[in-house]
Amino acid sequence: MSRDAAHYSARVLELFAQLPGADALAAGAGAMASGEAIALDRGAWIRFEARIEGGRIVDCVFRAWGCPHTLAAAAWVAGEVRKGGLAVGAAIDASRLMRELGAPAEKMGRLLVVEDALRALLDRARAVQ
C-alpha cells in the first residue's frame, strides 16, 4: 500500500477501486431526474442521475471529479439511493458520509458538495414523480 493509500479507510479504497454506479444513465422507460453540485475551490464536482418509474427511483448513477473520498462518497450515495429511493436518500448528509467512509474532518467541504448534489437530485425526483 502506498503512503497516500494509508490515509484512506478500507471502505473508501474498496469503493474507489470499483466505483459502482459511475456511469451515464442508460436509456429506458420512465422519467429522468438529475442533481449536480460543483465547488472547484474544494476540488469536487458531482452529478447524480436517476430513473423514476411508478413514483419510485429504480436506478441511480453518478459522474464525479475529485479525490478518492469524493468519488467513494458519490458511489456509496448512488448505491444507497438505488436500494432505498427517496426515503433513504433524504437520510444521507455529509456527517453520515464521514462516518460511513471513515473520512477525516478536512474532507467535510467535499462531502458537503456530494450532499448538495444529492439534495438537488431528490428535489428534482420529487418534482417528476
DSSP string, 89-105: HHT--HHHHHHHHT--G
> Which pTM value belongs to this model?
0.93
Q: Which domains does the chain have, with CATH numbers?
A: 5-128 (3.90.1010.10)
Q: What is the pLDDT of residue 40?
A: 94
Beta bridge partners of 60: 50
Please check whether residue 71 is in contact with residue 59, taking contact to mean a CB–CB distance below 8 angstroms: no
- Average of per-residue pLDDT across 108-118: 97
The helix/strand count (H/E) of the chain reads as 4, 3
**How many CB atoms are located within 10 Å of the residue 84 CB?**
14
Helix pair angle (94-101, 68-90), 10° resolution: 120
Q: What is the pLDDT of residue 128?
A: 87
Residue 4 pLDDT > 60: no
Average pLDDT, whole number, for the chain?
93
Q: What is the pLDDT of residue 6?
A: 56
Q: Please, what's the b/e burial string for 14-53 (b: 16 or more CB within 10 A of its CB; e: otherwise)?
A: ebbeebebeeebeeeeeeebbbbbeeeebebbbbbbbbbe
- Average of per-residue pLDDT across 77-100: 95
